[in-house]
Structure 1
């Protein structure tokens, strides 16, 4: 029996979205961005929520913005690595990777930054929002061969219609996705930057954890 691409995509989205219990709102200069955190990546989810509760993401800023790629917030690589160099005998704090093939770098995905470590473990406090671009079948075929991975039919359709960054798949942990506010995220990704990809004008944000009451209203008109 033939199954339409639309049916495959809908089934994929239902499996991804259902039963997610935590949402956060990024208040930015370009508008609000609502993000759903994946229950399938509990350690990244809980670490992120803990940092938000501690106030780490209050009046933060997008400090590295690469057009058609990502908008990054939290600590920069250099800041983290320089601090660690000052304490070479201290335990390096990283979050073990929670890479799942069904959680991919589509446009609007929330990922955890990391350095080039073989375990692919994440920084504790560096996040990025995926902007990316539209992909072609040929580009996806090439990536499958190069990376030794396989994109599902639904993933391919998403990459070909809304875009993303498939070359990051299975190398970085994706632990959430934007459910509303993609236009605001895109506006942030298009701001002017210097040669170091730092916005010329501060692009700040504050993160608020939604209450159960707020979450219950998300699906309501």
Structure 2
């Protein structure tokens, strides 16, 4: 009896001392178009921790959404796109002769593909990277990210995308299929770019940004600035 009581008390002590599960980290992106809040996935710890670090270090502050493609995505995080205040108090942005999208910190991240749990549905937060020709390991940029807006799909068009993915050994399960049919996204990127979070508030802002007029390099004609990124 005494042994049973001790065992019971130990069990209660262990349960009582167990740490409560922490909520996923949330980052607030304050832009000139409004506020976007993103939740980072614990399934991608390298990308989560890196994003939290660059946010806390101010790396993303005052940078542009330098690449915007309607019905696809909005991309930012290039330190070379940082704006500054001129002597007259006006905002000075990088020359349009300067090609943006090449900047970042001097390291890359190993990919963390987590299909079918994290995929390129509308609102997905993912890491940008260099192309396969120079980056066959599909390593992610240290700072650049994009948020998917994507487009809607019918069964025929989505079936073609699924077929192309399957040729490369990437499966689109039932949940992914239904999500792309009902919400839309960019399924052709699945399994090749790391998704590490999603928008929890502010998709109207994303929608507005992805619809702005752009130049031949997909840079918005009127600057869209990420004023500040904050860990909540």
Counterpart for residue 106 of structure 1: 121
| d(CA) in 1 for partners of 2:216, 2:74 | 15
- TM-score norm. by structure 1 comes to 0.78
User: What is aligned with 2:14?
Assistant: none
Which stretches in structure 1 are left out of the alignment for 5+ residues? 1-17, 84-91, 211-221
1:131 is aligned to 149
Unpaired runs of 5+ residues, structure 2, are: 1-20, 79-99
Instruction: Give the match's secondary structure for 1:27.
Output: strand
- What is the alpha-carbon root mean square deviation over aligned residues? 1.7
SS across alignment from 1:78: coil
In the TM superposition, residue 150 of structure 1 has moved relative to its aligned partner by 2.1
Task: Report runs of 4+ in structure 1 exceeding 3 Å deviation.
Answer: 76-80
**Which whole-Å CA distance do the structure 2 matches of 1:66 and 1:144 have between them?**
22
- The alignment status of 1:96 with 2:110, answered yes or no, reads yes
Give the corresponding residue for 1:146. Answer: 164
Between the aligned partners of 1:48 and 1:107, the Cα distance in structure 2 is 20
State the Cα distance separating 1:53 from its structure 2 match. 0.8
The range that moved more, 168-177 or 53-62, is 53-62
SS in 2 for 1:34: strand
- The offset of 1:59, in angstroms, is 1.6
Q: Structure 2-normalised TM-score?
A: 0.75
Which of 36, 39, 49 aligns to 1:36? It is 39
Q: Partner of 1:184 in structure 2? A: 205
Aligned to 1:67: 70
What CA deviation, in whole Å up to 9, does each residue of 1:84-126 have, x standing for no partner? xxxxxxxx62100001112000111101001121111101011
Higher gyration radius (CA): 2
Deviates more, 1:140-149 or 1:63-72: 140-149
Question: Higher helix share goes to which structure?
Answer: 1
Q: Tell me, in whole angstroms, the C-alpha distance in 1 between the residues paired with 2:66 and 2:111.
A: 23
| 2:8 aligned residue | none
- The match for 2:215 is 194
2:130 counterpart residue number: 115
- Equivalent-residue separation in structure 1 for 2:230 and 2:49 (angstroms): 14
When residues 106 and 19 of structure 1 are mapped into structure 2, their CA distance, relative to the original with a 3 A threshold, is farther
